[in-house]
Amino acid sequence: MTRIRVLIVDDSAAARSALRRLLEGDGGIEVIATAPDAFAAAAQMRESLPDVILLDLELPRMDGLTFLGRIMAQRPIPVVICSSHTEAGSRAALRALELGAAEVIGKPRLASESDRQEAQIRLCDAIRAAAHAGRRRRPSGGREPPPAPGPAPDLRPGPKLTADAVLAPPRPSSVVPPMPPVIAIGASTGGTEALARVLPGLSPRTPPVVVVQHMPEKFTAAFARRLDGLCTVRVSEARDGDRPERGEVLIAPGDSHLILRRHGRGYRTDIVSGPYVARHRPSVDVLFRSTAIAAGPAAQGILMTGMGDDGARGLVEMRTAGAATLIQDEASSVVWGMPGEAMRMGGADRAVPLDRIAEAIAEFGARAGAA
């Protein structure tokens, strides 16, 4: 098996060493070089031809954002940003996504063995997702794309958990009382920019929207603020006890599951910890299952670009409960893992190009009498 070749760029020797150890625990990934700054990294890029760059944004001599801009302008290579868990780090990471970075992860916390295992999984998954994105985005005439990543190795002890670990499955015989319309959206790799194209197209009459976008803890608040500045609908990070309203979008906070529950004639949100589901927290499967239980046929489920299968089973559950379901089509997805798996499992009514998703949401709202 051809391994994914990674260049690590970080000014801290200790960080470079720790990241190398985490990546080399995955047999499908090879660290071919490390660099302490952008100038050394540029030389290594010419010499080593990496498939993916793991980039710290806080670099001497030339900051990571400037270097990223030059990479994307001169020789696009998939880049994963490894950013600090700070407000400034979050803002810089979002700017990196705008510039073309494939993924953003937080600096690993390695205080315990469980921390190390989770950090390794998050990091290796991000590298694989970036390699997938690089294959789809390779410009014509460019060098050969990185190898297609195989299935992620099982690095976490125990089985990969389903939404059963957080929520009981929907009961086939249960009858959901008539509820107001609600929209649940899930996304991962490529989702930040995809959502930035979809949500500005929504009107203030849009039914409430709840979103899981795979992002690190402390990054989602800045992401929500960025989207809020682009949209006519209100966008914010979801809080425990929120009551989603028309014209409002709630983004699941990083490192917590977002659960939608019935509350009188409407809905409320629960923010819970719990185990990782489908390798993620927040998990799209958890949100979709809770929406199937709370709203049944009053819901619309949308699964967008992303690697893996999180959300696929949940979309099946939503469709079984009578919800309208759709996926982002393959041509417009950065990675067609999650939506593709939902299609294979029979969870989608239809596949829609990215530029038509806002229209599909408006059509759903109109049918529900909310627009």
Catalytic residue annotation: 188, 214, 310
**Distance from C-alpha of 203 to C-alpha of 189, rounded to nearest angstrom:** 26
Work out the widest C-alpha separation in the chain, in whole angstroms: 64
Are the beta carbons of 320 and 170 closer than 8 angstroms?
yes
Nearest CA-CA partner of 145 in 157, 154, 136: 136
